[in-house]
Structure 1
């Protein structure tokens, strides 16, 4: 295993032992139900918030915060009760992610692909695969991702799983690998030949396997410490039992796509909440009223009051759509068919449209309402807009509106893939 680090990170990471030599610090706590999960998330958010601006500004990788996050038991909340997990509802999962994202957008995004892998296992994994990897999650091991590839104008995957006499091995290069830097396992989308045709599967690759190179080369202006860089595979051996069906899970109605997308909506909702609270605090404590308002305090400026009212309505609408989407996804998980999964996809698309707008709007209006003093670099308030603008580019919101309109106007069911 090789881990490449940008020069800015060397001093910080050298103080930490290699990840796979650091098994989880302890067996995570057990989350007993949905209410408990939300309570723990709120506590962690209070702990994570104070240094969020510092981590963003200095690009400090959140190793200790992730250890605490996993030790809380929250990374295992979607493991089914039959396998020892809390089996929480989709709405609870979304609210947990939104709560953490309000405190630190990067920390809220890092487990997204971990939960995505758990959903792929639930839908398509064998009983043995579910038992093995659910146990790993309950023990505190983290799943990252190596799904996307760049350098080509198409979405064709070129990372291949080859079956040979010396075993199964993977070759290829991935980018946007959120969480891979921190992972114990890297679920990787691979193409393999089966009966003369290429089939896509998800291979769970140990992070410390020979031939795996994780490169911390994510340099986006937002979501700076998500570890969303590159992973390269050079003749990496994998066991057959680590390879899970993927393509076939989208050839029938399943909730993999809606679950993936509702987590993205939750991240954006959290960013909006964080910006809204930051704006409230700054205007209450530091902003001056505009001279034409003829008031002594910024909080009495009638136009400022109206703007906060508008922001609050947008935020509450986004929250309501997210909760509604969670209920509809749960219903589709319980009885998946063409219509129920399509309704779940559309409900989540509606939530994503609202949370995208709310997060970008709140991050921008924070400065309009707080004033010039809010732009001082040491405050780090720009991270809310940068994080929202970066994350909302994951897939284009314009296609959410298209899918929604086509569903209601023409009765057209949305496509089944992880981007909707």
Structure 2
């Protein structure tokens, strides 16, 4: 990493890496969730300081690697945790409680790690799944659909990607990058994994936004990056054409609701982190209001503080329950259809609307709770040292990824008119 782009030092987490190695990889769902909670506690200790420093999260990604969390979805025979998405979502949520940026990075990497299993051939899914799991790789993705697709040209034995993206989460600290583009003169989309560290991938190092500051979500230029036809996911390397039954079926669109539920879960985790931090501040530092006519000796005896915390708690519990239900629905869909890839449009749409419901609820509750906790902590809680502002900044930043109003409309058409959502880059 250039000195022009400062990065965090992985050595700070060496003792934790040694402990994780000694404890070994978790073997149960609860074990994985507990490991994620452990990582969250480590990150929470100095999250406010790291947020302010805005350094490239090299150390934080090393912590994810040493914890094993990048392997949670991988097959056991590859050294993975063999857990369903429902457990991975819980892990993302737990990490986000401690640091929203790192919860987001974990979620994106897990999503991209499954790209070949959704849009690739069985052989490609096995190859990339094993490689990513065994080598404990962190994955970035230069896919942002709001920008023009990368242009893909053909050359002897492979395809060449060129273009640029304004956003590329985690790319700077990734081992592999997922590229997506359209073959010039056609409407054929191509996904491929490529090595991140190569001359043709040039990062802008321009991520300096108000929230999620350690996600390295800045721009990237892709300059004639080559991948062999064997790595073009879902394509026959001999005919150079999509393989029937791979890319044109509803199953191939499942990356979209899967990542939308990644979003909902790290929003929820950030919100839970805010509520935990506010509780700690209130019980430790908030003073009772002396001019209300019913003076209490402690802020925790004040009716309005108790009432507001009760409302926060109920709202967050409701989102948690909804997110868990959506995660169970998506996990069941994958379990039932991953072999035959025969999910129906109706089933796909039904699950997508469970995800949309969770996304809407997590956004609305997240923005409200992370903002309103200041009303129950007090004026001193706005100090930079308290760090309560980072939770709102994190939810506010990513909740603009795709307008939640369109998710509400989508749900309205599904409920009122019985219309299935049309698969798009955001549905």
* TM-score, normalized by the shorter chain, greater than 0.5: yes
- Aligned residue in 1 for 2:354: 347
Q: How far does the alpha carbon of each residue in 1:340-387 deviate from its partner, in whole angstroms, 9 at most, with x for none?
A: 211110001111111111211121111111111001122221101100
Question: Aligned partners of 2:73, 2:425: CA distance in 1, in Å?
Answer: 18
Query: For residues 387 and 156 of structure 1, what CA distance do their matches in structure 2 show?
Result: 23
Which residue of structure 2 lines up, in the alignment, with residue 141 of structure 1? 137
Tell me which of 381, 390, 413 is aligned to 1:383.
390
How far did residue 236 of structure 1 move? 1.8
Task: State the 1:167 CA deviation.
Answer: 4.5
Give, in whole Å, the separation in 2 of the partners of 1:414 and 1:82.
Answer: 37
Q: Which residue of the partner structure matches residue 122 of structure 2?
A: 127
| Structure 1: gaps of 5 or more residues | 18-23, 150-154
With normalisation by structure 2, the TM-score equals 0.87
Answer with 267-276 or 54-63: which moved more: 54-63
Take 2:127 and 2:249, find their aligned partners in 1: how far apart are those partners?
25
Aligned residue for 2:188, secondary structure, equals strand
Counterpart in the other structure of 1:76? 71
* Counterpart for residue 326 of structure 1: 327
The CA deviation at 1:198 is: 2.1
Contact 1:83/1:131 (<8 A) preserved: no
Asked if the contact 1:55–1:62 (Cα under 8 Å) also holds between the matched residues in 2, the reply is no
Which has the higher relative contact order, 1 or 2, with Cα contacts under 8 A spaced 6 or more apart? 1
Structure 1 residue 95 corresponds to structure 2 residue 98? no
8 Å contact kept, 1:406–1:412 = yes
- C-alpha distance in 2, partners of 1:374/1:250? 51
Gaps of 5+ in 2: 12-16, 236-241, 338-342
Looking at structure 2, the residues matched to 281 and 16 of structure 1 have their Cα atoms a distance apart, in angstroms, of: 29
Question: Would the alpha carbon gap of residues 277 and 402 (structure 1) be closer, same or farther in structure 2, given more than 3 Å must change?
Answer: same
Q: CA deviation at 1:81?
A: 4.3
| Count of matched residue positions in the alignment of Structure 1 and Structure 2 | 400
Q: Are the equivalent residues in 2 in contact too, given 1:4–1:213 (CA < 8 A)?
A: no
Deviation at 1:118, TM superposition (A): 2.7
The alignment's C-alpha RMSD in Å is 2.5
Do 2:250 and 2:345's aligned partners in 1 also have CA atoms closer than 8 Å? Answer: yes
SS at match of 1:116: helix
Counterpart CA distance in 2 for 1:57 and 1:84 is 36
| 8 Å Cα contact 2:147/2:166 also seen in 1 | no
Greater Cα shift, 316-325 or 203-212: 203-212
Task: Note the alpha carbon deviations across 1:116-165, whole angstroms, 9 max, x for none.
Answer: 2233211222233223222222211111010116xxxxx46331121124
* Other-structure match for 1:50: 45
Q: Measure how far apart 1:115 and its partner are.
A: 1.8
Contact 2:108–2:262, Cα closer than 8 Å, also in 1: no
The offset of 1:286, in angstroms, is: 0.5
1:230 equivalent to 2:215? Answer: no
Structure 1 distance, partners of 2:89, 2:344, is: 23
Structure-2 separation of matches of 1:228 and 1:98: 19
> In the alignment, which residue of structure 1 is the partner of 2:257?
258
1:359 aligns with 2:355: no
- Distance in 2 between residues matched to 1:117 and 1:126, nearest whole Å: 16
In 1, Cα distance between equivalents of 2:10 and 2:275: 35
- 1:213 equivalent to 2:202? Answer yes
| Contact 2:147/2:165, CA 8 A, preserved across alignment | no
In the alignment, which residue of structure 2 is the partner of 1:309?
A: 310
Q: Identify which range, 245-254 or 122-131, moves more after superposition.
A: 245-254
Q: Within 5 A, what are the aligned runs for 1:261-280? A: 261-280=260-279
Preserved CA contact (<8 Å) 1:190 1:203: no
| 1:80 to partner: Cα distance | 3.6
Does residue 396 of the first structure (1) align with residue 403 of the second (2)? Answer: yes
Q: Distance in 1 between matches of 2:360 and 2:47?
A: 26
1:20 is aligned to none
- 2:306 and 2:32 mapped to 1: Cα distance? 34
Say whether 1:113 aligns with 2:115. no
What is the TM-score of this pair, normalised by structure 1?
Answer: 0.89
Deviation at 1:249, TM superposition (A): 6.2
**Residues 278 and 388 of structure 2 are in contact (CA less than 8 Å); yes or no, is this contact kept in structure 1?**
no
After superposing the two structures, state which structure 1 stretch, 394-403 or 309-318, moved more: 394-403
Measure the CA separation in 2 of the matches of 1:119 and 1:16. Answer: 26
- In the alignment, the residues of structure 2 paired with residue 267 and residue 221 of structure 1 have an alpha-carbon distance, to the nearest angstrom, of 17
| Counterpart Cα distance in 1 of 2:250 and 2:28 | 28
